[in-house]
Amino acid sequence: MSDQDRIILCMKWGKKYGPEYVNRLYAMVRRHLTGDFRFVCLTDDGEGIRPEVECYPIPPLDLPPGIPERGWNKLTTFTADLHGLQGTALFLDVDVVITGSLDEFFTYPGEFVIIHDYKRPWRITGNSSVYRFKVGAHPDVLDYFRKHFAEIRKQYRNEQAYLSDVLHKQGKLSYWPKSWCPSFKYHCIPTWPTNFWNPPFVPKDARVVIFHGECNPPDALAGRRNRKFRFIKPALWVNEHWRE
């Protein structure tokens, strides 16, 4: 794979995340990925995003209005012709914090590689905060979703459950090494009661720390005191990495 074939792909829609999330993500990637790459953001609003980022519209999914947001928009990354992009894409959620090299994410073996879900590791479900695929290689995943959404919505809670199940049945699903993509929620916060005097830490060999649930990078940086057993001291290391 040449450097020109490498694409970093992210998505931003709605008002939850501002352009600074995309800008900081680009800066972290540039610091941790050697060689050339394209950085692409699929978005409904490119205002304020730095010029190094290629912004394209999110392909239409045509979901019924008013349904709960379950990340279904991510499935549009599997459009057969995604704005003419070609190569291997590493998808990153905009709220991750990159702490180590990304080089091996493009060389690690596997047709479709994703994080293995932390909460229920006995299931095959992946966490789609970080996944890699060849652009245009899995249009069937999206085509079937569009034709059977009502049925899929009853069977799967969110896009990563559906995506993982489909690619597992096709024999194409594999996972990143567990240490590469730790969860801030599950792996970085010291266990009770040591969380009251020890700050969150970056686990050994971590490369991309993912944030899911209520806590995002600025929340981790500020700390949290409103829950007795989930008290979090400020994670000052976030400031070292989550910056432009």
CATH of the domain at 49: 3.90.550.10
Structural domain boundaries enclosing 204 = 184-241
Q: Which of 149, 175, 201 is the last residue of a domain?
A: 175
Residue 227 pLDDT: 62
**226 and 193 assigned to the same domain:** yes
Neighbours of 56 (CB within 10 A): 14
How far apart CA 239 and CA 179 sit, in angstroms, is 21
**142 and 234 assigned to the same domain:** no
Neighbours of 235 (CB within 10 A): 24
Q: Looking at the 3D structure of the chain, how many domains does it have?
A: 2
Helix H, strand E, coil C: the string for 28-82 is HHHHHCCCCCEEEEEECCCCCCCCCCEEECCCCCCCCCCCCCCCHHHHHHHCCCC
**Residue 107 vs residue 228, higher pLDDT:** 107
Residue 181 pLDDT: 98
How far from 24 is each of 49, 139, 140, 207, 234, CA to CA, in Å? 10, 30, 33, 16, 19
Residue 121 pLDDT: 79
How far apart CA 10 and CA 41 sit, in angstroms, is 5
> Is the per-residue pLDDT at 117 higher than 90?
no
Identify the sign of the CA torsion 114, 181, 23, 33: negative
The model carries a pTM of 0.95
**50 and 165 assigned to the same domain:** yes
Residue 226 pLDDT: 67
**198 and 168 assigned to the same domain:** no
Q: Which of 155, 175, 195 is the last residue of a domain?
A: 175
> Is the per-residue pLDDT at 88 higher than 80?
yes
**46 and 140 assigned to the same domain:** yes
**112 and 190 assigned to the same domain:** no
**152 and 113 assigned to the same domain:** yes
Q: For residue 9, what are the contacts with CB-CB under 8 A and spacing of at least 6?
A: 40, 41, 42, 77, 89, 90, 91, 92
**168 and 192 assigned to the same domain:** no
**98 and 201 assigned to the same domain:** no
